[in-house]
Amino acid sequence: MATVQAILDATAHILVSDGCEALNTNRVAERAGVSIGSLYQYFPNKGALIGAVRQRHADQTREELITLSAQAAHLPLKQAVPCLIDAVMAAHRIDPQLHQVLEREVPRQFQSWDVTEGEVELRQLLQALLQPHQDQLIVSDLALASLMLVRMVDALVHVPLIQDPLGIDPKAVEQEISTVVLRYLTGQA
Amino acid sequence: MATVQAILDATAHILVSDGCEALNTNRVAERAGVSIGSLYQYFPNKGALIGAVRQRHADQTREELITLSAQAAHLPLKQAVPCLIDAVMAAHRIDPQLHQVLEREVPRQFQSWDVTEGEVELRQLLQALLQPHQDQLIVSDLALASLMLVRMVDALVHVPLIQDPLGIDPKAVEQEISTVVLRYLTGQA
Amino acid sequence: MATVQAILDATAHILVSDGCEALNTNRVAERAGVSIGSLYQYFPNKGALIGAVRQRHADQTREELITLSAQAAHLPLKQAVPCLIDAVMAAHRIDPQLHQVLEREVPRQFQSWDVTEGEVELRQLLQALLQPHQDQLIVSDLALASLMLVRMVDALVHVPLIQDPLGIDPKAVEQEISTVVLRYLTGQA
Amino acid sequence: MATVQAILDATAHILVSDGCEALNTNRVAERAGVSIGSLYQYFPNKGALIGAVRQRHADQTREELITLSAQAAHLPLKQAVPCLIDAVMAAHRIDPQLHQVLEREVPRQFQSWDVTEGEVELRQLLQALLQPHQDQLIVSDLALASLMLVRMVDALVHVPLIQDPLGIDPKAVEQEISTVVLRYLTGQA
DNA sequence: TATGAATGAGCCTTCATTCAT
DNA sequence: GATGAATGAAGGCTCATTCAT
């Protein structure tokens, strides 16, 4: 419904512009242009608000990721890897700032179980994508490799999204991610 | 002074055991066994408290890292890399839970500029350590490689510290980090 | 109308099961299975709701009381008194819990003038019932005696309805009420 | 402490003048002339406030009652009973309006166990006072009689404290209570 | 008439911070 | 320096009531 959308949008906006600490239900309601009563008609408490925003973002991200990574399924490994990295980056580009806040600022009490949930799903997806290329891989354990890759790619993908103090070129980083991954998987780039 | 130490310890303890949201100055003072007035004698506000804890933790981490990584300076690359990874892991083992909270939960208003500061220093340290091994490296840009390495190692180093839902062995992860790094740097492991 | 009945029933039910503090119009409407709008179609405000429940309960109580006490009119005093006490107890057994809540928990703002109203009526009824037995009575003032009796019987009648912490038998209490009354009125039991 | 006293006084005053529903912590603090923060320094929540007022009132009442009823211990029954009734009335005159509110308006959630507690104590006190007069009593069971008396006297004692709609004289009521009690206990007045 | 989304005043409570002692 | 009572702005949330459909 329009009201719910407005509330979620307002929440996300405040989260991005002022951070999690500055998020309060009255402010969300005001920015959403609805009364505080309406907010509580749809969300039982502040945590649910953040949870819903996280859910919406996670859903969008997963959808984007799955859609784009599907294209990699039929490519040779050397093109599949950059394609996947692109997918991950595209997913992160949906709302990088919101992603950042959700990832790094949400206090413990609002963090839900499904954070790791999503990662596990991702690792299994990746493992399935790598399976067909078994013969070219030099990694010993595909499950282990998937864990390593998901974590490192996630970390690296954030790099080009922010200004580097030493002036490293974002474009170069983006390409280098594929290099790292391919060298790890195949020993060559 | 003892009072300051007690206050910082209390802060860190609450941060770890109950999270950033549960940190309040009265509780810190109580746990530290000093009056709230004394707390404000040494710290102008709540932010300074968190800042000081962060600073102390960063200092300890850096010190540990520098001390341990010094040993890697005179080793061949193949042993230097595991040695460095060990150093990073040791640094993270100082207080992994505090590290986690500081890294992931502290709201924007308390996050200071010097987070990146520390990383830049790290990248330069790493670059200096790699320099002597130039001939064995296949990476094109040492500054870029340092950025990549610092980010990915930091991400990977957290993995063995928490229980994996898919049951991957922490020991295996620890070794695999060196593999990833060496393959990236030299094309072999 | 069915809607009104449903609303009153819902109100009474919530009053009994969760107390006056837990009574709110939205909850009443929900439990009654009608919309909040419909509730306000029939009751101008929350107070009217409680008032109506009180009225209904008072009406039922009065009706029961008058019906049953009519039987006492043609009995000799010694049998009339237990008969009347029985009538009062029967009236209280209609919905003892609701009675309790209405009597002890309803805040001032919802208490209406007619509380005493009912009592006055009762006193006059009792006085009329006693009049024919004047010759056996040793009380000086029948109006005063009626006041005393209504108040004390009301108080005593609640006793057998709740569990006594010292384990006094409810049946014994019930009989003792008649003893008290008869001794007061006639000097004998 | 002065602050605590002021808070309790303010609570009692609001309770009496505007009822339980109108009691809110901000108003209490304002009337007490302290900040809302100070109120919460001494009382963990609204319920504790009401509980403390109730406690204070119960303590005062009990003290008055025990002190005054001690005088009845060495009197013959015929003077002891009016003396006791006087004691009960004096106890009720401490703050009749507060007593009323505490007795009839406090919602379930704030009612504590010790309501009945006090009554049991009273019944045992009364039983001890009656024991020495056993030979003049015609009641079969002293424990039962004590229960009856406590309840009926409590009910009757409230009568002279309020204006009667039928114009019964309060003084007469007061005396009649002793009559009722003595007739019940001894068969004569 | 019935509906129920929307409203918003107001209540309970927390906590960073001050300041008189 | 140390203390801790006191402050009060601010935030989470409830619920009686309205009104457009």
Number of domains in chain B: 2
pLDDT value of residue A104: 86
- Reported pTM: 0.89
Q: Between chains, do D141 and C172 touch, taking CB under 8 Å as contact?
A: yes
Could you tell me if residue C50 is inside a domain? no
Q: Which strand F nucleotides have any atom less than 7 A from protein CB atoms?
A: 1-20
pLDDT of D92 higher than 90: yes
- In whole angstroms, E11 C1' to A110 CA is 25
pLDDT of D113 higher than 70: no
Q: How many other CB atoms are found less than 10 A from the CB of residue A104? A: 16
Q: What is the pLDDT of residues A145-155, one digit of tens each?
A: 999 999 999 99
Q: Which CATH number do you get for residue B32?
A: 1.10.10.60
pLDDT value of residue B115: 62
pLDDT of C115 higher than 70: no
Show the tokens assigned to A157.
């993908």
Could you tell me if residue D149 is inside a domain? yes
Same domain, A171 and A101: yes
Q: Between chains, do B148 and A156 touch, taking CB under 8 Å as contact?
A: yes
Same domain, B78 and B140: yes
With cut-offs at 50, 70 and 90, classify the pLDDT of residue B1. Answer: confident
pLDDT value of residue B162: 87
CB D157 within 8 A of CB D88: yes
Structural domain span for residue A12: 1-44
Same domain, C89 and C150: yes
Q: Which CATH number do you get for residue D146?
A: 1.10.357
Whether chain C lies against chain D with 3 or more Cβ pairs closer than 8 A is yes
Show the tokens assigned to A103.
């990832």
- Checking each nucleotide's C1' against the CA of B42, the nearest proves to be F1
Same domain, A176 and A136: yes
Same domain, C114 and C155: yes
Same domain, B33 and B87: no
Q: Which of A161, A183, A186, A188 to mutate to test the interface with B (most CBs of B within 10 A)?
A: A183
Same domain, A174 and A146: yes
Same domain, D29 and D59: no
Of residues D105, D144, D187, nearest to C187 (C-beta): D187
The whole-angstrom separation of Cα B10 and Cα B15 is: 8
Q: In what helix (H) or strand (E) does residue B98 lie, and over which residues does it extend?
A: helix B96-104
Could you tell me if residue C69 is inside a domain? yes
Q: What average pLDDT does range B127-136 have in this prediction?
A: 95
Same domain, A78 and A150: yes
C residues 113-172 closer than 8 Å to D (CB) = 116, 120, 123, 141, 143-145, 147-148, 151-152, 154-156, 158-159, 164-166, 168, 172
Q: What average pLDDT does range D49-78 have in this prediction?
A: 93
pLDDT value of residue B27: 97
Ranges B93-102, B166-175, D108-117, D156-165: which has the least confidence: D108-117
Same domain, A35 and A125: no
pLDDT value of residue C114: 60
Considering only CA atoms, name the residue closest to the C1' of nucleotide E2: C38
pLDDT value of residue A115: 63
pLDDT value of residue A114: 62
Could you tell me if residue C34 is inside a domain? yes
Could you tell me if residue D30 is inside a domain? yes
Half-sphere exposure of D164 (CA within 13 A, CB side): 20
Same domain, A40 and A74: no
Q: How far is the alpha carbon of D3 from chain C, nearest alpha carbon, in Å?
A: 28
A25 touches strand E (CB under 7 A): no
Could you tell me if residue B162 is inside a domain? yes
Ranges A153-167, C20-34, D25-39, D109-123: which has the least confidence: D109-123
Could you tell me if residue B50 is inside a domain? no
Q: What average pLDDT does range D93-119 have in this prediction?
A: 84
pLDDT of C111 higher than 90: no
Which of residues A69 and C108 earns the better pLDDT score? A69
Q: What average pLDDT does range B140-167 have in this prediction?
A: 94
The whole-angstrom separation of Cα B76 and Cα B73 is: 8
Of residues B20, B105, B155, nearest to A152 (C-beta): B155
Q: In what helix (H) or strand (E) does residue B133 lie, and over which residues does it extend?
A: none
Show the tokens assigned to D117.
């507690």
Show the tokens assigned to A112.
């839900």
With cut-offs at 50, 70 and 90, classify the pLDDT of residue B90. Answer: very high
Q: What is the pLDDT of residues D8-30, one digit of tens each?
A: 999 999 999 999 999 999 999 99
pLDDT value of residue A113: 64
What percentage of residues in chain C have a pLDDT greater than 70?
Answer: 97
Ranges B101-115, D27-41, D147-161: which has the least confidence: B101-115
What secondary structure does DSSP assign to chain C, as a single string?
A: -HHHHHHHHHHHHHHHHH-GGG--HHHHHHHHTS-HHHHHHH-SSHHHHHHHHHHHHHHHHHHHHHHHHHGGGGS-HHHHHHHHHHHHHHHHHSSHHHHHHHHHT--GGG--THHHHHHHHHHHHHHHHHGGGGGG---S-HHHHHHHHHHHHHHHHHGGGS--TT---HHHHHHHHHHHHHHHHHS--
Query: Does A176 lie at the interface with B, CB-CB under 8 angstroms?
Result: yes
pLDDT value of residue B118: 83
Same domain, A98 and A181: yes
Could you tell me if residue A10 is inside a domain? yes
Q: What is the pLDDT of residues A46-99, one digit of tens each?
A: 999 999 999 999 999 999 999 999 999 899 999 999 999 999 999 999 999 999
Q: What is the pLDDT of residues B36-87, one digit of tens each?
A: 999 999 999 999 999 999 999 999 999 999 999 999 999 999 999 999 999 9
pLDDT value of residue D116: 73
Residue D159: list chain C partners with CB under 8 A.
Answer: 147-148, 151
